[in-house]
Amino acid sequence: MRSLVAETVLTPSDFIAPLFIIEGTGIKEEISSMQNYYRMSIDTTVAEVKELWHLGIKSVLLFIKCKDELKDNKGTEALNPDGLMQRSIKAIKDACPGMVVMTDVALDPFSTYGHDGIVEGNQIVNDPTVEVLAQMSVSHALAGADIVAPSDMMDGRIRAIRDALESSGFTNTGIMAYSAKYASCFYGPFRDALDSAPGFGDKKTYQMDYSNRREAIKETLMDIEEGADIVMVKPAMAYLDIIREVRNVVQVPVSAYHVSGEYAMIKAATKMGWLDENKAILESLTSIKRAGADLIATYFAKAAAELLAM
């Protein structure tokens, strides 16, 4: 009876599975602050992507761990046509053409400073960064990415990326904009995963202040105006009000990023025997969807798809 009248029903195609890719072969190494989540080499990733596809998951979001010696202050390696990201996109699209491949666009994994943009003095300079992000997006599209996902929060980057994609002939490449991305402590485990913690300062000059709600609407509407196809709110569970508010004012799909720290909290409490993991996963993801998210990026994508199949 309850299922007949349930207002919110999760399905595997709601999920975006984030993947952390490293150089090498046959590698699957656990991220210490993200129990049961792994950095994988391309071959291992491809096998994982096929499993996700069979579970009904339709999209993956790629992050790469750049070698230290390739990092600089300009994102040079981010534009390498034969870089780890570009090779990963090709390998996944070859092995599983139906999988929607989304790619992270930001400089932090490639930056000696661990910042999302180019650093001058102690500032993260907006406009020069936007130019690199646009080139990076074209490079991902050229490798076969279906959707680029700028997570950097620079101003004006959506228009610049849209223009660059259009003028390079990639009229079918989508943009999922991290529109309301808050400066959050819940990204801590992710920065361990990619070794991308900021070397100085914090990200408050470009990510949003968690005290603000109206600003999220302003940022989101600007991104849509500039050409975003999907807008995102991030993190998710401490920001359900923002997800709902955004859902109420936009006509495009809304995604929410259930981030690394939110994953780690459930994992840690489960390990202590304080929470029932499966119940915590489904209740969390259902709340995020109920708040208004059409898509949910979550490290629980596979686990939740398995639970839903039971």
The closest of 259, 107, 96 to 198, measured between CA atoms, is 107
Cα torsion 65, 101, 142, 81 to 10°: value is: 20
Say if CB 78 and CB 136 are below 8 A apart.
yes
The 10 Å Cβ neighbour count of residue 180 is 28
Distance CA 49, CA 59 (A): 9
Site residues for ligand PBG, 138-157, by CB under 6 A, read 151-152
Nearest-approach distance from CB 225 to ligand PBG, in angstroms: 22
Nearest-approach distance from CB 233 to ligand PBG, in angstroms: 13
Our CB check for ligand PBG shows the closer of 128 and 169 to be 128
Asked if 15 touches ligand PBG (CB under 6 A), the answer is no
Residue among 181, 267, 289, 302 flagged as catalytic: 181
Nearest-approach distance from CB 108 to ligand PBG, in angstroms: 5
Q: Which range touches ligand PBG (CB under 6 A), out of 20-28, 43-51, 184-192, 280-288?
A: 184-192
The closest of 103, 112, 108 to 85, measured between CA atoms, is 103
Nearest-approach distance from CB 3 to ligand PBG, in angstroms: 31
The verdict on whether omega for the bond into residue 235 sits within 30 degrees of 0, i.e. cis, is yes
Q: Position of tokens 């992050």? A: 63
Q: Is 71 a catalytic residue?
A: no
Residue 271: alpha-carbon gap to chain centroid: 26
Q: Position of tokens 């920065």? A: 191
Q: Kindly write out the interface string for residues 35-74 of this chain, putting x where it contacts ligand PBG by CB under 6 A and - elsewhere.
A: ----------------------------------------
Q: Which range touches ligand PBG (CB under 6 A), out of 71-79, 82-90, 186-194, 213-221?
A: 186-194
Query: Exposure of 7 by Cβ count < 10 A (0-12 exposed, 13-18 middle, 19+ buried)?
Result: exposed
Nearest-approach distance from CB 63 to ligand PBG, in angstroms: 7
Asked if 187 touches ligand PBG (CB under 6 A), the answer is yes
> What residues make contact with ligand PBG under the rule CB under 6 A?
104, 106, 108, 116, 151-152, 187, 190-191, 203, 259-260
Catalytic positions, written as ranges: 181, 234
